[in-house]
Structure 1
Amino acid sequence: MSRMSRGRAVRAAAGFALLAGLSTGCGGASSTAASAGFDPGGCQGGTLTVLSHAGQGALDPAELDTTDGAGLPALVFRTLTTHDHTAEGPQSTKVVPDLATNTGEPNADATVWTYHLKSGLKFEDGTAIRSADIKYGIERSFAAELPGGPPYLREWLIGGEQYQGPFKGAELASIETPDDSTLVFRLSKPEGDFPYLATATQFAPVPRDKDTGTEYQKHPISSGPYKVVSNAGGKSLLLDRNPYWSRELDEQRLACPDKVVLTSGLDTAVINQRLLAGSGDDARAVSGDTDVDATVLARLGGEPGLQNRVATGYFGATRYLAFNPKVKPFDNPAVRQAISYAVDRESVIDAVGGSTVAKPATTFLPDQPAFGYQPYDYFPGGLAGDPVKAKEVLAQAGYPNGLTVTLSHSSTSGDTGPAVAAAVQLALGKAGITVKLDPAADQDYVAGTQKPDTEPGFFIAGRGADWPSGGPFLAPVFDGRHLLTAGGNVNSAQLNDPQVNAEIDAAGRLTDPAKAAAAWGQLDSELGKQAWTVPLFHPVHMRLVGPAVKNAHASQWNGRYDYSRISVR
C-alpha cells in the first residue's frame, strides 16, 4: 500500500487539480491548456514517456499496492471495478464498473458480494476472460512466493488467513465461480468497502496456463489497452497496444498514445530539468514520481506557460506525532493535550518545504469529502502553537516546572526526518517541554515504531490512503483487533476500546459511500478528543509535464497522473 504505516513512503498526491496559478487550496481541477476537458482530435498516436526516479517496481498484479495499481499498471490490468477515470476532482474517487457490469451486488449484511462480467472481454492473445481467471488471480496473491499487496483479502475472505495460494492445487472456497461470467465472494464480516478493494490489481484476471510464478511480472498477460513488450524489472518498461482491447468494451480508458515508455533511475533534479526544457521526446513526457523542485518553483511566477504545465494536488495522507500511552508520561491525556497546543505547524511545514508542499492538519482524516472529513480542532493553538496554553495544561497535568521527553524520528531527510523533529523540539521548548531527539536509520526506525515491544513513547509517523475511504485510514490505526505484535503495527496508541471497535464495525458495513463517509468522519471527530495523535500536515504535491502533453490530470484516488486519459501532440 502507499502508506507509511507499512514502511513505504507515500509517493504520490491524490486529488490533483491542474494549476492555473500557484493556489494550493483544495477543490476540483482548474481549467488549463493541459487539462481543460478531453480533446478527441489529438487522442490517437505518439509515444508518452514517463520519467521516474524509483521506477515501477513489481509488475505482477499479485504484488502491487492498492494505489500503485492505479498508475501505469491500470493500462495493463483491468479489474472488477476501478475509480472513475472520466471525472476530475472529488468525483474521480467514485468506484465504477470495469470488467464487471456494476460495482457489486451485496447481500443484506454485506457479507456476500456478487459480480457479473461484461461480455466480449479478451486477453492480449485473444482468449476470453472468464470468472475463473479472476478467481485464480486473487488466489495467487496469497502465495508466499508473491509478497506484497493489500492485507484485506486475507482478513476479509472466509478461510483467507489460512490459505497459502494455488501453486500446490488448493483453491479458496470463499470465491465461487458458478459460471464463466459470475463471481461470488463470501466474507468473514460485513464490508461495505468491498467495491473499493475490487479495484486492486489482485482482482485482475490471470490465465492459469500462462502463469510463470515469480517470473510472471516479466510478461504479465494484459487485459487492458496496452501489453508489455519489455520489462527490465520495472526500471524500464515499454508498453504497446493490445490489439484485442477496444474502447467499446472499456469506457474508462482512452488509451491515446500508441506506446508508453518508462525510464527510471533518474536523479530528481534531472527529471525536472528535462521537463523544463521540454525538447525532443521530453516534450511528450511526464514526471512519474518526482515533485517540482526549487528551480521550477522560482520560475513559475514569471512564466505563465510553465504554470499551465504544473499540477498540484493532495494525497489522502496525514503526517502526525504519535503517542504510545504505555510509556510515561504519555499515559496522561493532559500531557498529550499540552503537546497538541504547543506544536507549531507553521514551522513544521517550513521544515518540509513550505505551504506549496504541505497544508496544516488538525484532523486525522485527510480533508477530502471521500474520507468523511469533518473539521475539528480541539486544542487550538493557531499555526504557530500556543505555548502559554500548553504550559497551563501541563501544570494541570502535574508538571508545573515542565518535563523532558524523547522524540524518535528518522535520521534521513523527509517528512519524518531531522528537520521536522527539530521544528517540534523548538516549539515544545517554548512550552517548557525539553525534547531530546532520538534518530534512527529508516529501516530500523520503521521496524522499531511498528512493533509494540519496541515502540517508543513519542515519534513522527504518517498514514496514506489504501483507497479514498475512512475505513482503511482509521481501522488499522485505532482498532485493537488490528494490533500486530510481531511487527507492522500502526496502532501506536495500542488502543483496544470495545466502543471504538463497534463503531468501526458499524461504519464498515455501510454500503452507501455517503453514509459511510459520515460515520467515519464522526468517529474521527470522537477519537480526536483523546489526543492519541497530533496531526501536523497533509502533503501537497506538484508535478511537471512536457509542453506537448495534453489532457493531463490526476486522480484523487492516488494522485498520479491518470495515464488512461493523457494524449501527446
Structure 2
Amino acid sequence: MLRPARIHLFTAAVAVLTGSLAACGSGTTGSSASGSADAFSAATCQGGTLHVLNASKATSGYDPAVLYTSGGGAIPRLLFRTLTTRQSVAGAEGTKVVPDLATDTGRPSQNATVWTYHLKPGLRYADGSAITSADIKYGIERSFSSQLAGGPPYLRDWLIGGADYQGPYGSNPDLASIATPDAATVVFHLRKSEGDFPYLAAETQFAPVPKAKDTGKEYNAAPVSSGPYTIASFTKGKELDLVRNPDWSRSTDQQRLACPDRIDISLGLSAAVINQRLSASIGDDADAITTDTALDAPTLAKVSASPALKKRVVSGQFPDTHYLAFNVKKAPFDNQQVREALAYAVDRTAVVNAEGGSQLAVPSTTFTPASLAAAHQDYDWFPAGPTGNPDQAKRLLAQAGHPNGITVPLAYDNSDPAAATALQQAFAKAGITLELTPLDSSAFSSTVNNPTTEPALSLNSWGADWPSGGPFLTPIFDGREIVSGGGNFNLAQYNDPQINAEIDRINQITDYATAQRQWAALDARIGKLALNVPLYAEASSVLHGSHVKNTYLDQWRGWYDIASVSVK
C-alpha cells in the first residue's frame, strides 16, 4: 500500500509493534487449524465497556467492500468474519493465516489457480439468518462496483474476468469465476497462480453480504454483522457504538474472544488529545485503547521518563519502506550509474534524525524491511555507511558524464518535509542539487502515480497488505502492474520479462516458508539495479489505559488485537 508521507496512524500499513516477524508455515495447503486465541483464555473476559479513542473519522463508514482490513484498522474484524483470518496470538505465530468462516485455509489446485473453500456449519448473521456461499460470492461481486470503490485491487487482477467486471447491480451478470456448487462451497478460478490467496481471503471483501439486505452506498452505515459485535449506533466522524451479536458463537470462531459487552469508539480526536487521555487514564479512559494513533517524538520522550507510563507502552517497527523512487524513463535516472550515485550519497542517519530519531525510524538498505523477516534478505549493494559516501557518488557521476554534478527536482508530500530537507543537505556534499518540489497531499498520488505526470524523482513509502513478499514486491517491480491512467505503483516503470516470470514462478508456491525465501532472493536480485533507494522503516510506540488487559499487538497488521482485549 503506497503512503507518500510519514503518519502516526496504524491505518495505512501493516505495522508490527512487538518485534520482527519470523518465518513460519501458513497452512495454505488445506490443513485445518483450530486457532490459538486460547493464549488469552475466555475466562479472562469480564464484560464491561471498552473505550477506543481514534483519530480516524470513519466518514466512509463500514461497508466491507470499500475497506482494507489492513488499512481500515482493527474495527472491521469485530463486525465481519471472512473465509480466513490472521491467527490471534502474540509473536511470530501471529503471522499465520488460519480458517475463519471456512473449515481450512483453502485447497489449491496443483498450480494454485483454483482455490476451494467449505464453510463451517452453523454460521449465522446478527439477524439470525444463515450465512451461505452465495453470500460470500455476492459480497465479493459488489466490491467490483464503481460506487463501492476503495478496497484492495487484487481481486480485479486475479479473478478470471475480474478486469472487466462491473459488479452485480442493474442488469450486470454474476462473476462466473466464483462458483458456488452448494450452499457451503465456494470455488475461485484465477487467471494466474497465486500462492498467497489464503491471505487475500482474510480481507473484508470476503465477508458475506446477504443480497436481500444490500442497500448499496447506504450499506456502510448499518452493515449486517457476521462477527461478534453489531452496530448499535453510528455517527460518521464522531462515534461508533458496538454491542454483542447474539448469534455469534465462539464454537465457530476461535480467533475472537470478544470480551467486552460493549465497545464505544470515539472518532475524529486529535493525536494530542488521544495520548493525553491515555496518559492520564482517568475514568473511562482507564478502560481505553487506540487503534490508530502512535506517540510522537516529544510525547514519547515524556512517557519514557515515567516508569508508570512506560509499563503501558508497546513499541516496535512497521514493516514498510520509505524510499526514493526513480522514474527510469526520465533522464538522468535512465542511467544506472546516476541512480547508484544517489544511493551512495544518502545520509540515513540524518534522515532518521529528521523523522524523530531511532525510536521512530530504523535505517533500511533493502526494499523488503527487516521486520518482514520471512521475506527479508540482508544486502547493501551501494554502501553509504551511516552518513553517506559523497566521494563515491561524485566518482560515479563523473563516469556517467556529470563531472560537475547534477540538479534534479524531488517531489514529496508537503505534510512531511523533514526527510526531503535532510536528503537535500546530504546530496549537496556529492554535487547533487535537489530542487525540493512539495506537493499537496491531495495532489501527490494523482501526480506521482500517473506515468504521464510522474516526476523523475519522488519520496514515497510502501507497506504490504499481508506478511508476505508478494504484495511488497509485485506492485513495485512487476512490469505488468504498470497502470497508464493512474494508480500506478511501479514508479520505476520497470518491465523485465525475466522478473515478471520469476514473480509468476514464486506465486505458484503454496508453502509459505519456501515462497518467502524466494521473495527475499528476488528482492536482493532487483536491488542490484538501483531502481529505488531504501531509506528507513517506521518505528512506533502506543499507549493503552491502565485497566486494559490482553493488550498485545498482532504481528500481521500491528494494532491492538481488539478482538482479544478485555477490561479489568
TM-score range, shorter chain: over 0.9
Structure 1 residues 10 and 73, CA gap change in structure 2 (3 angstroms): closer
Structure 2 Cα separation of the partners of residues 361 and 308 of structure 1: 29
Where do residues 520-535 of structure 1 align in structure 2 (5 Å cutoff)?
Answer: 520-535=519-534
- Residue 11 of structure 1 aligns with which residue? 11
Q: 1:405 & 1:252 partners in 2: Cα distance?
A: 51
Cα distance change on mapping 1:69 and 1:290 into 2, 3 Å: closer
Cα deviation for residue 27 of structure 1 reads: 6.2
User: For residue 114 of structure 2, what is the aligned residue in structure 1?
Assistant: 112
- 2:238 and 2:312 mapped to 1: Cα distance? 25
Aligned-pair CA distance for 1:55? 2.8
User: How far apart are the structure 2 equivalents of 1:369 and 1:185?
Assistant: 28
Match of residue 211 from structure 2? 208
The SS at the match of 1:176 is strand
CA distance in structure 2 between the partners assigned to 1:366 and 1:450 by the alignment: 22
Residue matched to 1:31: none
Residue in structure 2 matched with residue 469 of structure 1 by the alignment: 468
* 2:567 partner amino acid: V
Show CA shifts across 1:357-406 (max 9, x none).
Answer: 11101000121346510010001111211112222222222222222222
Give yes or no for contact 2:52–2:289 (8 Å, CA) kept in 1: yes
Quote the offset at 1:516 in angstroms: 1.0
Displacement of 1:7: 12
Bigger drift between 343-352 and 438-447 goes to 438-447
Once the 2 structures are TM-superposed, how far is the Cα of residue 26 of structure 1 from its aligned partner?
3.8
Structure 1 segment 335-354 matched on structure 2, within 5 A: 335-354=338-357
Cα distance in 1 between the residues matched to 2:53 and 2:176:
43
Distance change (3 Å), C-alpha of 1:361 and 1:179: same
In 1, Cα distance between equivalents of 2:252 and 2:530: 49
Q: 1:126 maps to which residue?
A: 128
Q: 2:403 aligns with which of 400, 403, 408?
A: 400
Partner Cα distance (1:189, 1:37) in 2: 38
User: Counterparts of 1:150 and 1:13 in 2: how far apart (Å)?
Assistant: 13
| 1:72 aligned residue | 75
Q: Is residue 181 from structure 1 mapped to residue 188 from structure 2 by the alignment? A: no
1:313 Cα shift? 2.6
Contact 2:66–2:151 at 8 Å: present in 1 too? yes
Residues 1:168 and 1:253: Cα distance change in structure 2 (over 3 Å): same
Which residue in the other structure is 1:22 paired with? none
Cα distance in 2 for partners of 1:308, 1:267 equals: 23
Counterpart AA for 1:490: F
- Alpha-carbon deviation of 1:295? 4.6
Determine if contact 1:13/1:540 at 8 Å carries over to the other structure: no
Note if contact 2:4-2:459 (Cα within 8 Å) is conserved in structure 1. no
Correspondence 1:227 to 2:230: yes
Q: 1:304 aligns with which of 302, 307, 312?
A: 307
Specify the alignment match of 1:135 in structure 2: 137
1:163 aligns with 2:165: yes
Amino acid at match of 1:119: P
Greater shift in the superposed pair: 521-530 or 429-438: 429-438
CA positional deviation for 1:37: 5.8
Read off the aligned partner of 2:149 and give its amino acid letter. Answer: P
Identify if the C-alpha distance between structure 1 residues 142 and 12 changes in structure 2 by more than 3 Å, giving closer, same or farther.
closer
Q: What amino acid is aligned across from residue 92 of structure 2 in structure 1? A: P
Deviations 1:179-228 (A, max 9, x none): 11100111111111110110011111111111111111111111110011
Q: Distance in 2 between matches of 1:14 and 1:189?
A: 25
Q: CA deviation at 1:68?
A: 3.2
Structure 2 match to 1:550 = 549
The AA in structure 2 aligned to 1:145 is Q
Aligned to 1:48: 50
- CA separation of 1:161 and 1:13: change in aligned 2, threshold 3 A: closer
Q: CA deviation at 1:42?
A: 3.6
Choose from 271, 275, 286 the match for 2:274.
271
Structure 2-normalised TM-score? 0.93
Q: Secondary structure at the match of 2:146?
A: coil
Instruction: For 2:474 and 2:17, locate their aligned partners in 1 and report how far apart those are by CA, in whole Å.
Output: 28
- How far is the alpha carbon of 1:76 from its aligned partner? 0.6
How far residue 17 of structure 1 moved from its aligned partner, in angstroms, is: 4.4
* 66-75 vs 501-510, greater mean Cα deviation: 66-75
Distance 1:16-1:491 versus aligned 2 partners, 3 A rule: closer
TM-superposed CA distance for 1:507, in Å, is: 1.1
Describe the shift of the 1:27–1:480 C-alpha distance in structure 2 as closer, same or farther (beyond 3 A).
closer
Q: CA deviation at 1:16?
A: 3.8
Superposed CA deviations along residues 235-267 of structure 1, whole A, max 9, x for unmatched, are 411110001112111000000111111101111
- 8 Å Cα contact 1:69-1:201 kept in structure 2: no
Structure 2: which amino acid aligns with 1:78? R
Q: 2:375 aligns with which of 366, 372, 375?
A: 372
Q: Is the 8 A contact 1:14 1:555 kept in 2?
A: no
Q: How far did 1:351 drift?
A: 1.1
Cα displacement (A) at 1:462: 0.9
Matching residue's letter, 1:560? W
Rounded to whole Å, the distance in 2 between the matches of 1:511 and 1:235 is 43
Instruction: For 1:464 and 1:58, locate their aligned partners in 2 and report how far apart those are by CA, in whole Å.
Output: 23
User: Pairwise CA RMSD of aligned residues?
Assistant: 2.1
Secondary structure, aligned partner of 1:4:
coil
Matching residue of 1:539: 538
**2-structure distance, mates of 1:216, 1:500:** 41
2:147 is paired with a residue of what secondary structure? Answer: coil
Q: Which residue of 2 aligns with 1:32?
A: none
SS of alignment partner, residue 248 of structure 1:
coil
Q: Quote the offset at 1:480 in angstroms.
A: 1.0
Q: Is the CA contact 2:469–2:516 (under 8 Å) kept in the aligned structure 1?
A: yes
Residue 504 of structure 1 deviates from its aligned partner by: 0.9
1:151 aligned partner: 153
Q: Match for 1:146: what amino acid?
A: L
1:322 and 1:534 in contact (8 A); partners too: yes
By how many angstroms is 1:294 displaced? 3.9
CA 131–141 in structure 1, closer or farther in 2 if over 3 Å, else same: same
Identical counterparts, % of pairs: 53
Q: What residue in structure 1 maps to residue 34 of structure 2?
A: none
User: Does structure 2 retain, via aligned residues, the 8 Å contact 1:13–1:313?
Assistant: no
Say if 2:483 is the partner of 1:484. yes
Q: Does 1:287 align with 2:286?
A: no
Contact kept in structure 2, 1:510 and 1:516, CA below 8 Å: yes
- Report how many aligned residue pairs link the two structures: 551
AA aligned opposite 2:159: L
2:21 and 2:374 in contact (8 A); partners too: no
Q: SS of the counterpart of 1:145?
A: helix
1:493-523: per-residue Cα shift (whole Å, max 9, x none)?
A: 1111100110111111211111110111111
Aligned to 1:436: 435
How far apart are 1:116 and its partner, in Å?
0.3
Q: Which region of structure 1 is more displaced relative to structure 2, 231-240 or 295-304? A: 295-304
CA 1:528–1:478: 2 relative to 1, 3 Å: same
Separation in structure 2 between the aligned mates of residue 17 and residue 36 of structure 1, nearest angstrom: 21
Distance between the aligned counterparts of 1:78 and 1:201, measured in 2?
8
Deviation for aligned residue 1:12: 5.8
Unaligned runs of 5+ in 2: 23-36
Hey, what does 1:420 align to over in structure 2? 419
Q: Provide the secondary structure at the position in 2 that maps to 1:534.
A: strand
8 Å contact from structure 2 (residues 348, 386) kept in 1:
yes
The one-letter code sitting in structure 2 at the alignment partner of 1:94 is K
Q: Does 1:381 align with 2:384?
A: yes
